[in-house]
Amino acid sequence: MMSNHKFSWFTKLSLVVILSFVAVLNTQAQETVITESNFQVTIPAGWSSASNEENVITLSKDQGAVSLMVMEVAASEISPATLKQQLSAMYNGIVLKNPSSTNINGLSGLYVEGNVNGDVPMSVLALTVKKGAKGLVVVGITATVNENTYGNEVGQILKSVTKL
């Protein structure tokens, strides 16, 4: 039988304060990065971002245990052949699956995964999206053993890509 117990105003107020604090932590936990061409990427708590003079944004976590590079390109440069060529130039010995078409937040693009065999086997992924004359390329890399550790957060980042 359920009791008809009423909560005190203090209990109710405490619960509201706790829930508000958690909501504030969650909203402060994310950072939004906006590129020159107004592509937007949201990164979860614990990730850092930095950009260089070539406007390449690097997102990383745990001192580079996983990192993503975000680069703007001309939309005309986004094709399966170009993507494979660029990744092969970046990572010696990369083996890629076939790129697949994707659509993220109304942006059409390509997604591909691959592996680099070496002293430390690495997992690589790339996402490209485009809108108008501009495109965005996101390339991620981590040691293969870290895939499960960072996979969900990398997925959140990739799904957050939008164009303002």
Q: Is 10 among the domain residues?
A: no
Q: What CATH number does the domain containing 119 carry? A: 3.40.1000.10
Q: Dig out the tokens for 54 from the structure.
A: 């070539």
pLDDT > 90 in the chain, percent: 59
Please state the domain count of the chain. 1
Q: How many CA atoms lie within 13 A of 91 on its CB side?
A: 24
Q: Is 8 among the domain residues?
A: no
Q: Is 11 among the domain residues?
A: no
Alpha-carbon gap, residue 127 to 110, rounded angstroms: 6
| Residue 13 pLDDT exceeds 80 | no
| pLDDT of 6 | 52
Domain span including residue 35: 30-163
Q: At 29, is the pLDDT very low, low, confident or very high (cuts 50, 70, 90)? A: low
- What is the residue-wise DSSP string for 47-90? EEEEE-TT--EEEEETTTTEEEEEEEEEGGG-SHHHHHHHHHHH
* Each residue's pLDDT tens digit, 111-164: 999 999 888 899 999 999 999 999 999 999 999 999 889 999 999 999 999 998
Q: Is 62 among the domain residues?
A: yes
Q: Is 17 among the domain residues?
A: no
Q: What is this structure's pTM?
A: 0.79
